[in-house]
Amino acid sequence: TSKDYPNDSLEIGRYESVNEILHSVHKRGLHLLEHAFVFFSSAASQKTLETAEYLCSKNTANLVNYTGFTNDEYNMVYNSSQMLSSEPRLFFSPKEQVAKDIVICGSGPSLDENIELLAKLQEDHLIISAASSFGTLITNNIIPDVLCILERGQFLHEDYKKFVNQEITEKTILVTSAVSDYKLGELFKKRVVFFRPSLTPLTIFSTSPSQLLPLDGPQAVNTAISLASSLKPNNVLMVGCDLGTLNLDKVRSITAAGVSPRTFDRQVPANFGGDCWTDSYMADA
């Protein structure tokens, strides 16, 4: 252990089996293997080659992932307890129609091309912003009726704080997952919290199946669509819900909130003819 880097150490040891190596790493934190670099000499023995192969195998990855998933569940239970302690309104799937005409806004590049249309539609449509599209709408003086947020990162509070003023605080309803950062609730007076399927907080805190928002992921646009569907509308218009791009020089709305890197490496048929670019995450969405 170095005096300058007291938390760093170099260990040299002899191990009888690969399991001993994993046990040694586990004592320091198995999740460290998630970003580990396994190096071995090209002149290594067959046993060393087999050991290195196992350390890079799916079996080892499963150990790491399981630990990561467990930590995630702990964090989500904590976030939910913080969120619910502020006593927000809980989502209940409505029995009757709430809105006839709804617009769902994603942060795809086509959002910028339809700002004038959205300015007209906001007069008689319910505008639902899917997460980062909120930045583009506010920048163009369009205040959405609803903001849907799915993620639970603590950076979200700062991402959205810069766009919020008194008028927005009063008008926009924040609809967020119970596992999202509770500090988001400080930005909006009207808040609705829903539970995500298959997560621990659902079984601990939920008191009714109606508090569940189905098919809410993997992206916030899925959340917005699920919410819109629950309001039993006659018509739903999706703007900026591109899930890809026609032009690799513009993969996202210019003034969307936060940072969301896009590496579109798959070319697929576009819905309205021709080809477009996307990736596995957008395809899943």
Q: Which amino acid is at 191?
A: R
Per residue in 141-150, pLDDT tens? 999 999 999 9
The number of C-alpha atoms within 13 Å of 149 and in the hemisphere containing its C-beta is 32
Q: Which amino acid is at 90?
A: L
Taking 70 as the threshold, does the pLDDT of residue 3 lie above it?
no
Distance CA 133, CA 117 (A): 15
pLDDT at residue 121, rounded to an integer: 95
Mean pLDDT of 135-139: 95
Taking 80 as the threshold, does the pLDDT of residue 106 lie above it?
yes
Taking 60 as the threshold, does the pLDDT of residue 1 lie above it?
no
User: If DSSP codes are grouped into helix, strand and coil, which group holds residue 2?
Assistant: coil
**Torsion of Cα atoms, 94 then 95 then 96 then 101, to 10°:** 50
Confidence of residue 192 (pLDDT cuts 50, 70, 90): very high
Mean pLDDT of 6-13: 72
Q: How far is the CA of 170 from the CAs of 70, 144, 174, 187, 188, in angstroms?
A: 38, 11, 11, 10, 7
Distance CA 231, CA 140 (A): 26
Taking 80 as the threshold, does the pLDDT of residue 99 lie above it?
yes
Please check whether residue 156 is in contact with residue 177, taking contact to mean a CB–CB distance below 8 angstroms: no
Mean pLDDT of 170-179: 94
Longest distance between any two alpha carbons in the chain, whole Å: 73
Per residue in 80-95, pLDDT tens? 999 999 899 999 999 9
Per residue in 24-34, pLDDT tens? 777 776 666 66
pLDDT at residue 36, rounded to an integer: 66
- Residue 243, token pair as written in the block: 């899930």
- Residue 91, token pair as written in the block: 């989502």
Taking 80 as the threshold, does the pLDDT of residue 70 lie above it?
no
Say whether the peptide bond before residue 218 is cis (omega within 30 degrees of 0): yes
Task: Output the CA torsion sign for 126, 132, 138, 139.
Answer: negative
Please check whether residue 132 is in contact with residue 257, taking contact to mean a CB–CB distance below 8 angstroms: yes
The dihedral region occupied by 262, where left means phi > 0, alpha psi between -120 and 50, and beta the remainder, is: beta
Mean pLDDT of 171-188: 92
**241-246-250 Cα angle (round to 5):** 80
The number of C-alpha atoms within 13 Å of 152 and in the hemisphere containing its C-beta is 21
Of 57 and 248, more confident: 248
Please check whether residue 176 is in contact with residue 156, taking contact to mean a CB–CB distance below 8 angstroms: no
Of 11 and 97, more confident: 97
For 114, other C-beta atoms within 10 Å of its C-beta total 15
Q: What percent of the chain has pLDDT over 90?
A: 55
User: If DSSP codes are grouped into helix, strand and coil, which group holds residue 176?
Assistant: strand
Distance CA 189, CA 171 (A): 8
Mean pLDDT of 219-242: 96
Q: Return all residues near 75 (Cβ < 8 A) that are at least 6 apart.
A: 152
**152-75-280 Cα angle (round to 5):** 50
